[in-house]
Amino acid sequence: MTIDVTMPALSPTMEVGTLAKWHVKPGDLLKSGDIIAEIETDKATMEVEAVDEGTVAELLVAEGTENVPVGAVIMRLDGEGEASPKIPNPNPSREQPAPDLIRGEGSSSTPAAPPAPPAQPTPLPPAGGAGGGPSGSRTIATPLARRIAEQKGIDLTSIKGTGPNNRIVRADVDAAITSPPKVSGAGEVEKRAERGPGEGAPAPTAPPAPPKPAAPPPTSDIPHTLEKLGPVRKVIARRLTEAKQTVPHIYLTLDVELDALLKLRADLNKALEPRGIKLSVNDLVIKALALALRQVPKCNVSFAGDNLVVYDRADISVAVAAPSGLITPIITGADTKSVSLIATEMKALAEKARAGKLQPHEYQGGTASLSNLGMFGIRQFDAVINPPQAMILAVGAGEKRAVVKGDALAIATVMTITGSFDHRAIDGADGAALMGAVKGLIERPLGLVA
Amino acid sequence: MTHDLLILGSGPGGYVAAIRASQLGLKVAIIERERLGGICLNWGCIPTKALLRTSEIYHYITHADAYGLSVEKPTFDLKKVTDRSRKVAAQLNGGVKSLMKKHKIEVVEGQGRLTSATEITVTTPNGERQLSAKNIIIATGARARDLPGVEADGNRIWTYRHAMVPPAMPTKLLVIGSGAIGVEFASFYSDMGAKVTVVEMLDRILPVEDADVSAHVQKALTKQGMTIITGAKVSDVSPGPDGVTATITTADGKAATNEYSHVIVAIGILPNTQDIGLEALHIATNRGHITTDPMCQTNVSGLYAIGDVTGPPWLAHKASHEGIIAVEHIAGGHPHALDVGLIPGCTYARPQVASIGLTEAKAKAAGHTVRVGKFPFIGNGKAIALGEAEGFVKTVFDATTGQLLGAHMVGAEVTELIQGYAIAMGLETTEAELMHTIFPHPTLSEMMHESVLDAYGRAIHF
């Protein structure tokens, strides 16, 4: 019996994936649970386990193939107890329709069932989902338009629909892909002419969509290599472009003294040693940001078109440098979690992030972000907001600096922090209040553990 | 100006345009030289369906035994058969008349001729009438194309029009051309007992259809007793007192001359662009058909053209849709342009054929990586219960985007099914939405679901 092994859906929204690596080759005998391949989605790389047993007859998708649709046959197995002569079979799938013969690692559901949808930590749709944009109003688009937009990294919220009732149709997405951002109304005429007869709906006002920035062809006389962008890098590029182009940022910077926090950390670490937990400064700053967001709820928000989403919980997305690129695992409910729990969770999440094994629910969502480049000696920087979130805290290095205390010079360990705020949602004074709250919590750190 | 809008021709393009114009408050006149409703319901779509209904029932009666019924050998009265067809046409013609009245549309009987882009002179039985309007829609349709050197006299050599009201039942019929019209008449006369030969110049019958469909129909018709000759030319068609001789030359150069009782010429159409004053207006055409923009406007401002007088496909429903686009544009609206890729086509032979969008070959030629699903009638419970277990539903998807690029069906009642895919394609659904759709059981439509599933290796019943 031939068994078709198909591209699994590793998350509810996954429609295509990159077959990053095969772990098996034709002739291998597979047992249930063996790792057969690594699949890269737009956010993570996951290992796929075999569910059926048998001999690998054929690998149908080459390593590195992008955009393999979920459900596409990627491998054929000769089932148990059968010698494996390669009998050409005109349509093996008819004998054995095999929707979900393999499952993503970490899915605890039965093999036949798709992975259960992850619990959403916030009321907003997961960031990066093509369907729900950051805006609160629903984007009306055809299923095909949605799918192509997702595949091509086009933000549907930036596209004007020309279909019935202004629905976004395929032609609109295609136009957004092909047309460069328009500077003025000029060019409308040429665009209409380009479309040719039979397709003459008025040219959509081409949005300054964040398409793949038209990369200038590399100058040939400079020695270079070309690296194909991985899905993670593509998403980073798209999301950050979108953030900088659509979110008006303001930046508020202040210095905080760390000495009290460092002392508390040393004391806590001594106390936590028997439990094998070690707090980092960052763990405490996560807690400080979460508590500050609860103290200044006007900053724990998302701008959503006609609405402002005000969160009743502080979920902190923490930037982690993974080999494939930046990713932001989330400490959910950091405002109510103990710092020791935050430290434990952060350690596990960072390890998973570096291994590319984060589950979608572990990085999608969050109400605010934190990025710390202090360990690289960076003194101060301005971070880019991660929509639909409305703020991100950029943390610099703690260093001994000369400070003036009571008209006298003194030495203190000082760290510069900068908050980036979505000015549509947050006024400068409210942002300043949040920064003050963070400063207060760090400089009088007992509040973090009380 | 005597009117807001003049429409030249009252076929399914013209009369639908007139009704829409009236709905939008335009003062409209429609000019018709023959009968309201045009070819479609007087000499085309509708009366042929009436004939084909007769041959279908006749076929069932002659095969009643398969359903457990005993029926004595049935006979038929050809005149009664054609009378019924004419009555159906007359009823619909009357229907259009009352629709015109209901919508207060002025019907002007006579031959219209444009004297400028805003004026039409109509030669009526009571003399000439001058009509004028800011906008004019040309909806004059098309006529059968002649085979060079062969005059369809209506005696033994017929066009579709003669074939609709046969003076006698053919015994040995030659059908030249295997488009929808040729195949439908071939099917009708074959089921009514004629010995039918179909000759097609291209390498397969129903050449616009998917190759799998053509092959299936060719096989089915051959099994029914027809002779199908493809890649062949017909020449030296000469009528004699007892029949018509014709020479069929196949691709390998072999020629054979045979005698037939009758010949039907169905090799395509020619647009009706003569004698309506177009020459002086310098209207742009392409192979004789008027060229229009997406709003159905010609190169002359205010002058529109719809239906068979314009480019393909030459189908009634395309004409009607264009009529609505043109009128809404004239009325200042912003209608959505016609997407020719979304026009379904139907052939009412036995077996029926229905299709929409790209064939598998055209999809590949257009650069798509395709996923193809195919589900046979034999896998469908309703089809088996009907005793109609032959045919299939084929779907063509873009492998990358999941876009449904085309659907091709052959078998019983598929002409009533194709609209489902038309809606799906119009709404730009992907395979996912089609898979999630619940199709009622037991129906033939389940095959539409199964075909989609099959494209993704998930068909259940086959």
| Facing residue for B402 by CB, picked from A6, A69, A197 | A69
Q: What are phi and psi of A127, to 5 degrees?
A: -60, 140
Q: How confident is the model at residue A13 (pLDDT cuts 50, 70, 90)?
A: low
pLDDT confidence band for A180 (50 / 70 / 90): low
Whether A232-448 and A1-86 are alike in CATH topology: the answer is no
Average pLDDT over residues B430-449: 96
Write down the CATH superfamily of domain A232-448. Answer: Chloramphenicol acetyltransferase-like domain (3.30.559.10)
Render pLDDT for A220-230 as a digit per residue (tens, 0 to 9): 677 788 788 87
Query: Which of A23-37, A105-119, B13-27 reaches the highest mean pLDDT?
Result: B13-27
Of A98, A145, A200, the CB nearest to B294: A200
pLDDT confidence tier of residue B284, bands split at 50, 70 and 90: very high
Percent of chain B with pLDDT over 90: 97
Do B457 and A169 count as a contact with CB atoms less than 8 A apart? no
Q: Is the pLDDT of residue A8 over 50?
A: yes
Query: According to DSSP H, which parts of A218-338 are helical?
Result: 231-246, 259-272, 281-295
Give mean pLDDT, residues A11-27. Answer: 81
Could you give the CA distance from residue B204 to residue B179 in angstroms, rounded to a whole number?
A: 10
Mind telling me how many Å the CA of B456 is from chain A's nearest CA?
Answer: 7
B57-99: pLDDT as tens digits: 999 999 999 999 999 999 999 999 999 999 999 999 999 999 9
Q: What is the pLDDT of residue A199?
A: 39
**Strand, coil or helix: what is B352?**
coil
Predicted pLDDT at B396: 98
Helix (H, G, I), strand (E, B) or coil at A414: strand
Nearest chain A residue (CA) to B461? A94
Stretch among A18-32, A128-142, B263-277 having the lowest mean pLDDT: A128-142
- Measured at the CA of A76, the angle between CA A71 and CA A79, to 5 degrees, comes to 120
Closest CA to B157 of B71, B263, B240, B283: B263
A148: contact with B, CB 8 A cutoff: yes
Are the Cβ atoms of A94 and B400 closer than 8 angstroms? no
Is the CB of residue B414 less than 8 Å from the CB of residue B337?
no
Q: Examine the pLDDT at A190 and tell me if it is beyond 70.
A: no
- In this complex, how many residue pairs, one in chain A and one in chain B, have their CB atoms less than 8 Å apart? 73
- Residue that wins the pLDDT comparison between A202 and A309: A309
Task: Tell me: pLDDT of A108 over 70.
Answer: no
Question: Are A143 and B336 in contact (CB < 8 Å)?
Answer: no
Arithmetic mean of pLDDT, B435-442: 96
d(CA B368, CA B397): 9
Domain A107-195 is found in CATH 4.10.320.10:
yes
- Chain A residues with CB under 8 Å of B293 CB are 197, 200
Mutate to test the interface with B, among A65, A94, A177 (most CBs of B within 10 A): A94
Among residues B103, B334, B441, B449, the one annotated as catalytic is: B441
Q: Chain B: nearest CA to A198, how far in angstroms?
A: 5
With bands split at pLDDT 50, 70 and 90, how would you rate the model's confidence at A12? Answer: low
How far, in Å, are A142, A151, A196, B118, B341 from residue A168 at the CA level?
Answer: 6, 16, 19, 38, 19
Confidence of residue A112 (pLDDT cuts 50, 70, 90): very low
Question: Is A423 known to be catalytic?
Answer: yes
Strand (E) or helix (H) holding B142: strand B142-144
- State both tokens at B49: 């369906």
Between B274 and A77, whose confidence is greater?
B274
CB contact under 8 A, B429 and A143: yes
How far CA B303 is from CA of A279, B118, B297, B327, in Å, comes to 79, 8, 6, 11
Long-range residue pairs from B100-103, CB within 8 A, at least 24 positions apart, any chain? B100/B15, B100/B18, B100/B30, B100/B36, B103/B18, B103/B19, B103/B22, B103/B23
Percent of chain A with pLDDT over 70: 76
Can you count the helices (H) and strands (E) in chain A?
Answer: 11, 20
- The per-residue pLDDT for range A257-286, each reduced to its tens digit, is 999 999 999 999 999 999 889 999 999 999
Domain ranges of chain A: 1-86, 107-195, 232-448
pLDDT at A57: 84
Closest Cβ opposite residue B402 in set A99, A147, A198: A147
In this structure, which long-range contacts are made by residues B256-260, counting pairs with CB atoms below 8 Å and at least 24 apart in sequence? B258/B174, B258/B197, B259/B172, B260/B170, B260/B172, B260/B173, B260/B174, B260/B197
pLDDT score of A99: 40
**Is A397's pLDDT higher than 70?**
yes
CA distance B194 to chain A (A): 40
- Non-local (6+) Cβ contacts of B93 within 8 A are B35, B36, B37, B41, B42
Cβ separation of B400 and A93 shorter than 8 Å? Answer: no
- In angstroms, the separation between the Cα of residue B292 and the nearest Cα of chain A is 8
Chain B, nearest residue to A98 by Cα: B458
pTM value > 0.80: no
Which residues 403-422 of A are in CB contact (within 8 Å) with B?
Answer: none
Contact B266, B160 (CB under 8 A): yes
Instruction: Tell me which residue in A93, A143, A199 faces B337 most closely, judged by beta carbons.
Output: A199
d(CA B50, CA B95): 16
Cα dihedral A272→A278→A281→A284 (10° resolution): -50
Predicted complex ipTM: 0.79
User: Does the pLDDT value for residue B106 go beyond 70?
Assistant: yes
Of B429, B454, B456, the CB nearest to A71: B456
pLDDT at A130: 39
Mean pLDDT of the region B149-173 = 94
Residue of A nearest to B298 (CA): A197
Nearest-CA distance from A234 to chain B in Å?
Answer: 18
Concatenate the DSSP letters of all residues of B232-280 into one string. -EEEEEEE-SS-EEEEEE-TTS-EEEEEESEEEE-S-EEE--TTSSHHH
Residue A4 predicted with pLDDT over 50: yes
Q: Do B337 and A98 touch (CB under 8 A)?
A: no
Q: What are phi and psi of B202, to 5 degrees?
A: -75, 180
Contact check, Cβ <8 Å, B430/A163: no
Q: Do A4 and B457 touch (CB under 8 A)?
A: yes
* Chain B residues in contact with chain A using a Cβ-Cβ cutoff of 8 Å: 292-295, 334, 336-340, 399-403, 427-430, 432-433, 453-454, 456-460, 462
Q: Which residue has the tokens 């020479």?
A: B247
First-to-final CA distance of chain B? 65
In order of A103, A149, B282, the CA distances from A71 in angstroms are: 12, 20, 56
Residue A384 is predicted with a pLDDT of 94
Give tens-digit pLDDT for B171-221: 999 999 999 999 999 999 999 999 999 999 999 999 999 999 999 999 999
Q: Are A330 and A316 in contact (CB under 8 A)?
A: yes
- pLDDT(A142) > 80: yes
Give B336's contacts in chain A (Cβ within 8 Å): 163-164, 201
Better-predicted residue by pLDDT, A327 or A213: A327
**Amino acid, res. B173:** L
pLDDT in tens, A404-420: 988 999 999 999 999 99
Q: How far apart are the C-alpha atoms of B85 and A360, rounded to whole Å?
A: 65
* More confident of the two residues A200 and B164: B164
Give the mean pLDDT of chain B: 96
Q: Is A222 helix (H, G, I), strand (E, B) or coil?
A: coil
- pLDDT recorded at residue A129: 37
Average pLDDT over residues A9-13: 70
Identify all chain B residues contacting A199, using CB atoms and an 8 Å cutoff: 294, 337, 339
3-state secondary structure A308-357: EEECCCCCEEECEEECCEEECCEECCCCCCCHHHHHHHHHHHHHHHHCCC
Cβ distance B334 to A199 less than 8 Å, yes or no, reads no
CB contact A129 to B (< 8 Å): no
**Beta partners for residue A29, in sequence order:** A55
Q: Which two tokens stand for residue B305?
A: 């053209």
Q: How confident is the model at residue A64 (pLDDT cuts 50, 70, 90)?
A: confident
List the single residue in A72, A97, A144 with the smallest CB-CB distance to B429: A144
Q: What is the pLDDT of residues B386-418, one digit of tens each?
A: 999 999 999 999 999 999 999 999 999 999 999
> What is A1-86's CATH topology?
OB fold (Dihydrolipoamide Acetyltransferase, E2P) (2.40.50)
